Each structure stands twice: as C-alpha cells, then as structure tokens.
Structure 1
Amino acid sequence: MTDHEEAAAVRPLALAWVGRHLEDGERIVGVEALHGGVTAEMRRLTVGTREGGTRELVLRMFVDPFSLRNAEEWLGREVAALTTLAGTGVPAPGLVAVDPAAAHCEYPALLMTHLQGRTVLDDEGVEARVPLLARQLAAIHAVRPAERPLTYVALTTADTVVVPEGADAAVWGAAIEVIREPAPPYEGRFLHRDFQPGNVLFDVRSAVRISGVVDWAGASWGPADVDVAHCSTILALLHGPEWGHRFAGAYEEAGGVLAATVGERRYWQVRDALAFSEEVRLVARPWREAGRTELTPRFVEKRLDAYVTSVMDRWS
C-alpha cells in the first residue's frame, strides 16, 4: 500500500487539519486503525520528520450518534485532563490539537501523542498486573488539579438495570434496592472514570511495567470508589469475580483510600456492576476482537451475575 493510500484511510478534512498541526517539513507516511474502543474511531499516524526519522500521533474522532451528542463535553474533559497531567508522572498522552465542534474536521476530533505499549487482557499474568494497575490508579487519584474537573455522572438507575437470564431474582432485586438509596458522602478525587485494562498500556517487552494510560474523555471529580469499582467489575468480567475483589484490596495496599463503611463500599461496587447489565454486548465485542473469543455476551452475563452475587454476599 502506498503512502497516499494509507493516508486516505483518514477522512479528507481531518487529514488536512492534522497536516496543519505538523512541524515544517513533516508529512504523514503511514496510517493504522486502532481497535478496542467502543466510542470513537482511532488512527495511529506515522509522521515522517524533516530529519528523516519518524514519530507517531493518534487521531481520535467521535463518529457514532451517541458520541456525537457528547463529543464537546468529552473532548473538553479530555483536554483538561491531559493538560492537568502534563508533568505529573502519570503516563498520559500529550495534547497536540482539538476540534471539539467539528469546525475543521468531518467529526469532532482530538490529536495527541502516541504512547508505546499494548493492552493486555489475557488471563495469564493477571496476578502480576493487578498490583500495577492498583498502584497506577492510586497515583492518578493523588493528582491535585489546579482546576477541579466536572463532577462524575452515574447514568444507571434502579429502573434501567437489565437482570440477566437465569439470575437469582432475589439477589438482583436486593442489589437494585441498594442503588435506590442516595449516593453516600465522599471526599473528592481526580478520577479517570474508565480506568481498566483496556485503557492501560503495558511495556511490550515484559508486560510488567505500565507505559501509558489513555482515554481521558470521562475525567471527573468524585469518590475514589467509583474508579476502583469500575476496574474491579472489568477485572471480574475478564478474569473471574475473585479478581474484582482482589483489585480493591490491592488498591488499599498501594495507599489508596476507599469508603469507610461496609454499606458505602457496597453501594459503589453494586452501582458499577449493575451498570454493565445494560451494555454487555457493547463491552464484550472489543474483548473478542482482541482475542478473548470465549467472552461471548452470554458468558460475560454469567460472570456479571456471579460477581453481583459475590459483592452482595461479601458486603451483606
């Protein structure tokens, strides 16, 4: 494939916009689609430099109807987060340019630096990765932004939960009642809001060092429990319910502070787990595309049911 053909994989207006943000003498020499996300179209751009070398950028464009409705807010959050994180030691992309209202591109777009590494979703090695994830999340929560981001938003309600086929109605009914209660009081922290293995890059040589944390479109202010519960649920669905519980313990071992009471912890864990009942097919698809073919929607539903049951048993 020629350079021109590869560049054509980027929409024409976006390609021209990117070009205006390159250094003098630079040009795009390669384009690769990045997979794994569910809300945006991602392209890795290889840029030829004036000196004859290359560097890489990432272009994110929000193209589906739901994302388009939220693009300006999400891009605003992400730009603010990347600006906040610059120089903190948290391995986040560097901001290059943003077009939140699609004034220049076909769709709302973000251009940022590319981070080396890869996502790791396999069962093998999860025991070594969980403490690394926990330490990284604790470091994110330790960031003190000069300007507080928008408060977190929880979209799931007791009336939108989808009880999986074959699940224990009494257990799920009790879990649903938990989130009918008002959210507990909390001490605010800087949140990623979608911190989980799919948004964490590991060193490609060993997978025992985190090289990047991506997708800051949900960056928020709220309780640490929100991020911990979210990553716990994902780990439970990827690797089994016990890993959700082990992550919360690893987070505390890393110095993170969770809600003080059993009831408060149960609220946040249950709320996040129930949210996944509404989007099992959506979250399972990129996992299968990444090679976890056994994670069919039905398989993930069963794991979700097992995890909700274990959370209710653990914190009752």
Structure 2
Amino acid sequence: MTLDPTIRRFIDGLSTTVPPVDSGQAARTSHPPRGAWPQTPAPRVALVRDLEIPGPGGPLGARHYHPDPGQAALPAVVYYHGGGFVFGDLDTHDHICRLIAARSGVVVVAVDYRLAPRHRFPAAVQDAFTALRWVGDNASALGVDPDRLAVCGDSAGGGLAAVAAILARDGGGPELAFQALVYPVIDLGGYPVRPGTPYESRISNGTGYLLTSEGMHWFAGQYLGDPRDATDFRASPIRAGDLSGLAPALVVTADFDPLRDEGEAYARALAAAGVPATTVRINGGFHGMFGMGESLPPCRQAEDVVTGTLRAVLSRTRCPD
C-alpha cells in the first residue's frame, strides 16, 4: 500500500514548514500552527454554543452542538480532541464536531480538558470523566437522550474516550451505548521504541508520516509525571485488568500511523473480553487525517466510517432492560 500522491505532497510540504513536536519551538505554540492544515469547510449546525462545566481543577470549557433543537431528545456524543495531551482545544476540532453533529444527526458536546505539561496525568482523565457524567446528569437541558450516549475522540482524545468508557462502567455510569475511537493513544508505555516492541507500526511508521514515534515519546514525557504512570490503565487503557462489560466499540486505524498496531490490539482485547468491537483500517491513511475529507478526498473514508456508524448505532432505540 502506498500513500495517495495528494497526501504524500501534503505530508512532505507540512514536514518542511512545521517544527517537530519535540522541539522547543513547537512546545511554545499550537502544533501544528493554526493555518498549517488545509482550510476545511465547517458544516452548518443549527445550534452551537459555548458552555462551562464544573471541573475538578476549575471550570471546564465545552461546546454544545445541536443539529435540530426543535426535535425531541437526540442521541449524543461526548467528544475529546486530539493533540498528544499537549495541544488542541475547542477551536482546533470545531469542524470535526460540526461534521459529526451534521452527518450523524446527534448532539455533540466537545470538552476542553486540561493540557500537559502544566496539568499532567491524570488531570485530562479527571476532566474527561467529569464532563461525561455532567452531560449524563444534564441530558434534558442539552436536548440529549441519556440512553443513547456515546464517547468519541481522536488520537489522545481517542485514548481519553476509551478510559472514560472504563470509568463509566466502574464508577456508576452514565451507561454508554457506544465508543468510537479514532487512531487512539492506547499504550503510553514502550518509549523510546526499541526492537521487539509488540507494536511493529511504531517502527515501520515511526518516521515520515507526520506523527513520529520520537514525537510520541515526547508527548508521553510531557503528559506523564513519572514514566511508571504508563502502566496505569487511565494512561494506557489496554493495560486495564478487565475490559468486559464495556460499550460496543469502533476503532479506526490508519495504515501509515505509528499508533496503528496498538489501536488494533485494543480492539482485539475488547473482543476477547466479549465486547462487540469493530476495527476499520483506512488503507493509505495517516495520523491526523480525520476531518480533512473536504480538502483531501482520500481522508473522507475515515469520516464516513465514524459518522455513518454513529448514525446507525445511535439511531436505534435501546431495548428496555
């Protein structure tokens, strides 16, 4: 499998203009700098408003997307943005949340969780779970059906979504109908990468495709206060002792992504624990492709898989217990 020439040119062009994530320049700015990605048209959503959620470290920013406020309560997705636990915010992923709300017909609540290195692990996890519980508790005011609630996220946010699903199972809810994990960060252990890693993609895709294994080592160092924290399932959900009883899952991976193998390993672990889990690998895909389908057509497949699955799964009325 080879990269689409359009994507190859995009990656090569961005690699020459954007500093590596493990550089001092990148650490002082958003990464990649705003404007570096293709300008992606944002779908229209009927209601978009900023919210504040009481959080463990102070108020959390959030953004509420409702595709049809006149409708009865709709299914909802709590969304966690990517950025290696260091970068990203409500604005960097605004177009993705609009896309999900518009194409899936669901309410989306995006969470502006605390970022490292100012706020190290487990601050982001605490914020992610607090926000999920708040959405469940305030479903009526948000126009949300609490029986059709899902979590979703990309990259670091995909890892947070996976952890939030475990915490919801163990912490008294809310009960989730689904989890959609887009090239998630599943295991923060094993950095720096060495021969013999259980995740071969960390070597074969470790350089040349925007996200690098060296960059992931840097992200892990920024996020974790102690490297031993990587053994905690809240940092590395694949290390959870028990994955049974979790919400059904979609795990989307990308062919040319150092995180590909750990995402697929997590889907296998979920399935082994009896959790309905589907893996979709985007052939020719790369880390960061989600949300760029309008500008880079080969990326559209990832969006279609996620939005189509959310629409199909969450449109079903859950059977009474």
TM-score w.r.t. length of structure 1: 0.29
For the pair shown, which has the larger CA radius of gyration, 1 or 2? 1
Larger helix fraction of residues: 1
Larger strand fraction of residues: 2
TM-score w.r.t. length of structure 2: 0.29
